[in-house]
Amino acid sequence: MIHCKKNIGFSLIEVLVTIVILMIGLLGLAGLQGRALTSQLESYQRSQALILVKDIENRINANRKNAANYVTATPLGTGAACPVAADPTVIADKDKEEWCNAIMGAAEVQSGVSSAGAMIGARGCVYQIASPASGVATPYLAVVAWQGLNNTKAPDVTTATSAGQCGAGQYGNESLHRVVTLPISIADLN
């Protein structure tokens, strides 16, 4: 009498196939985790930029009579030292100094020595986008630019100034250039 022995359990091939399938799934999960972290950092940088444009809007609104003094000739926070207000009693100069320090991340210190900053390569600009006219609100544009981590469409923000876009051409690839803008209208106070 011949006894047929039944195979019980898994063969070595089945175990190897299962391990390969499991490894592919784990690699996919690791890639997903990396993308999630990148997206989280992009979101954090955008929220910091929104806080900064709102901050300069509040500063300009609090000092409406001197709103034109908030216009920046060059982007603030370009890696160089922030401009120091020559006369601390001039509110607009002091506000621009404090805003620049916030852009540079002066409140966030890394290893107790250098500013870490809230955004990569952050820059801030304030433009006057039209000439003031009697009885008409003067439009300004507050801009915060920074370097993103993933390629996206380049920003489509133009201004009426010769300075062009805030931070344009500063990040190597315009698809890494991120911008948040906030239009500000200051009523004629005359």
Q: What is the pTM of this model?
A: 0.76
In a domain, 142, yes or no: yes
In a domain, 125, yes or no: yes
Q: pLDDT tens for residues 30-61?
A: 999 988 998 898 889 999 999 999 999 999 99
Strands 123-128 and 138-147: antiparallel
Is residue 186 classed as helix, strand or coil in its secondary structure? strand
Bigger pLDDT: 83 or 143? 143
In a domain, 26, yes or no: no
In a domain, 12, yes or no: no
If one counts the domains in the chain, the total is 1
Q: Which two tokens stand for residue 102?
A: 């916030």
Write a three-state SS string for 124-139.
Answer: EEEEECCCCCCCCCEE
In a domain, 25, yes or no: no
Structural domain boundaries, residue 53: 37-186
**Residue 163: which pLDDT band, with cuts at 50, 70 and 90?**
very low
In a domain, 155, yes or no: yes
